[in-house]
Amino acid sequence: MDAGCPRLPDTVLFEIFLYLDHTDVLSVGLVCQQWRAVARDEFLWKELFYRYYRVSRDVPRHPGAVSWYDEFQRLYDTIPCVEVQALKEHNDQVLHLSFSHSGCLFASCSKDCTVKIWSNELDISLQHSSNMRPYNWSYTQFSQFNSDDSLLLVSGVFVGPHNSSSGEIAVISMENFTLLSRVRNKPYDVFGCWLNETNLISGNLHRIGRITSCSVLWLNNAFQGIESENVNVVKRLFKIQNLNASTIRTVMVADCSRYDSPDLLLDYEEQLAASSTCPVFDLSSDSEEEEAKPKPSPEPAVQELPDAGGVPAEHGLQQFFDDIMEGRVRPAMTETELETKVAELFVRNRTKPPEPNLLSTDSNSKTKYLIFTTGCLTYSPHQIGIKRILPHQMTTAGPVLGEERRSDEFFDSLDHVIDIHGHIIGMGLSPDHRYLYVNSRAWPRDCVISDPMQPPPIAEEIDLHVFDLKTMKEVKRALRAHRAYTPNEECFFIFLDVSKDFVASGAEDRHGYIWDRHYNICLAKLQHDNVVNSVAFSPVEQELLLTASDDTTIKVWRSPRAVRIRQARRPRPRKLLFSWLMNQKS
């Protein structure tokens, strides 16, 4: 501390803190520098922490903290909220960012139809740019490095015959940046993801009726050029029926083997004590008693049909047609309602049952979860589907169409469904894959959807929900602060990212946001000139964050502590030599 700076009494500093804006890092830092010199009283720091950050008193201190003094210092000094660089090499909206697992590289996708690879050094620099327009792409939208960072998956929108839009996935080698393979991906917002080092998941969509379809998820070998009659390059994973114009989108894979050693447990309110017996959770209710009661839903992805009358599934469809012909179906149904009823009855007797004991996954197992957005009431994604991937399914070896199926196993059922009661616009996994974070825009309470092609209006405020994938329960209250304005029929994805201690998200209000995962508080707003589409923490340094925006820039943010360290490492001009040179000139 500067010797000429007056030392303020503890009580005065305490009051100053209470009136400071906690996003003003410099002001907080100055007062903290003074207080560190005069106050080490834990009671004062604890009281300051709860009052200044407006944290509920029943929230305990972070499990990794050794004192309230250190915890306050962590929250004001380690948040990546200082802009240190703006990257302007893209010439259109930047849609997505992804880091390599080593943190040495990251990739960016843009409406300019390029995917750019950046080197994360002292100053970030562009290493490579691939233009996808020669492959009839309209733009690139998503990227992901495989587990050993040797391959990059790039997802984009492909322009087909008669200007029809579909999706395509490209695999790029990180050794020499060559394009290894291309895989069709329909619809394009399935995005695609890696299952393991050499196999990736893509989607396809088959129309059955006007609002009924079938989503097929495929496992693809990244090296499609393999020439061997004994090795497949593709294999069907799952085939799932879609009702009411819904489709499977936004696939990702969670590794169940890491659940018992999480980086951070979110159970300070003991919300994880009881396991759920219900495969579907409806977030539209505020009543804790209602949410605690099991809701009757024997099959996660299929709603109960009224007036089943105890008729076996194989006779249900015939009885339904007989009821129509004899006028026993009242009131009269629209064409859309009729198609949905017939599809529901058909799928009852043509669906493979869900995997048993989803929640009792062995921590040493190699089992993984396939997670995706879906729906059952309208085309806007309002549910999260979860399907277990067993070890023998994680290779393209075997029949191309997967395991042999009986006639009553035409479709695969979902093992678990989470109902969000709103439009899902983003999902992200914690680094340990234990928790799933979901951005959504809520529907009006008690809304009724009569037409699947007209979803309910959605809120401007974004809710960030948190789910424990070990218990399939929602934990903590929803995080809030960020907003979106696009109407439901045009709503697009807002990517989020999770580090060990923080979660960050983009927003349409021209800001990125950072929250603390343990305390559930918003810590920083990061400004852009337009919509912030994506954020990405460095996997090895959570004090480094990237944000991508419609303003065509990628901004690099570091914590105040990291900025001080980096500035100290930079070589400083030698004052004596400079003075000697000036004297020589004179």
Domain end call among 77, 111, 126: 77
Rounded to an integer, what distance in angstroms lies between the CA atom of residue 252 and that of residue 249?
10
Rounded to an integer, what distance in angstroms lies between the CA atom of residue 200 and that of residue 183?
10
Could you list the mean pLDDT of each consecutive 10-residue stretch along the chain, which spans 586 residues?
42 53 52 55 83 88 89 91 97 98 97 97 93 96 97 93 83 96 94 96 93 94 69 86 93 87 68 37 39 36 37 53 58 67 68 67 71 95 95 82 66 93 96 95 92 92 94 86 84 92 96 95 96 97 97 97 85 55 57
Tell how many helices (H) and how many strands (E) occur in the chain: 9, 31
Question: Tell me, what DSSP letter sits at residue 94?
Answer: E
Whether residue 38 is found in the same domain as residue 109? no
**What residues pair up with 252 in beta bridges, in sequence order?**
371
**What residues pair up with 200 in beta bridges, in sequence order?**
194, 220
The reply to whether 336 falls in a domain is: no
Q: What are phi and psi of 58, to 5 degrees?
A: -85, 0
Q: What are phi and psi of 246, to 5 degrees?
A: -80, 160
The reply to whether 352 falls in a domain is: no
Whether residue 55 is found in the same domain as residue 104? no
Whether residue 391 is found in the same domain as residue 534? yes
On the question of a cis peptide bond just before residue 134, with omega within 30 degrees of 0, the verdict is no
Whether residue 201 is found in the same domain as residue 60? no
Domain end call among 34, 49, 77: 77
Whether residue 255 is found in the same domain as residue 399? yes
The reply to whether 535 falls in a domain is: yes
| Distant-in-sequence, close-in-space partners of 542: CB < 8 Å, separation ≥ 6 | 78, 80, 499, 500, 501, 502
Q: Which pair of structure tokens corresponds to residue 461?
A: 């405020």
Other C-beta atoms lying within 10 Å of the C-beta of residue 310: 4
Q: Which pair of structure tokens corresponds to residue 390?
A: 């067993």
Q: Which pair of structure tokens corresponds to residue 85?
A: 């660089």
Note down the domain range covering 252.
79-260+364-568
The reply to whether 267 falls in a domain is: no
Assign 135 to helix, strand or coil. helix
Q: Give the pLDDT of residue 340.
A: 74
Rounded to an integer, what distance in angstroms lies between the CA atom of residue 414 and that of residue 388?
9
The reply to whether 309 falls in a domain is: no
Rounded to an integer, what distance in angstroms lies between the CA atom of residue 392 and that of residue 219?
12
Q: Give the pLDDT of residue 10.
A: 52
Q: Give the pLDDT of residue 547.
A: 98
Whether residue 161 is found in the same domain as residue 37? no
Q: Give the pLDDT of residue 267.
A: 64
Rounded to an integer, what distance in angstroms lies between the CA atom of residue 140 and that of residue 134?
13
**Cβ(418)–Cβ(281) under 8 Å?**
yes
Q: Give the pLDDT of residue 138.
A: 95
Helix (H) or strand (E) holding 313: helix 313-325
Whether residue 65 is found in the same domain as residue 190? no
Domain end call among 28, 46, 77: 77
Q: Which pair of structure tokens corresponds to residue 247?
A: 């489709």
Whether residue 125 is found in the same domain as residue 244? yes
Burial of 267 per CB tally in 10 Å (0-12, 13-18, 19+): middle
Whether residue 557 is found in the same domain as residue 522? yes
Q: What are phi and psi of 340, to 5 degrees?
A: -65, -45
Torsion of CA 329, 330, 332, 333, to 10 degrees: -70
Q: What are phi and psi of 526, to 5 degrees?
A: -115, 115
Assign 417 to helix, strand or coil. strand
Q: Which pair of structure tokens corresponds to residue 100?
A: 């390599």
The reply to whether 237 falls in a domain is: yes
Whether residue 393 is found in the same domain as residue 542? yes
Q: What is the CATH number of the domain that holds 226?
A: 2.130.10.10
Whether residue 164 is found in the same domain as residue 87? yes
Q: Give the pLDDT of residue 378.
A: 93
Q: How far apart are the first and last CA of the chain?
A: 38
Secondary structure in 3-state letters for 377-423:
CCCCCCEEEEEEECHHHCCCCCCCCCCCCCCCCCEECCCEEEECCEE
Q: What are phi and psi of 30, to 5 degrees?
A: -65, -45
The reply to whether 196 falls in a domain is: yes
Q: Give the pLDDT of residue 396.
A: 82
The reply to whether 2 falls in a domain is: no
Q: Give the pLDDT of residue 33.
A: 57
Domain count, the chain: 2
What does the chain come to in residues? 586
Whether residue 377 is found in the same domain as residue 472? yes
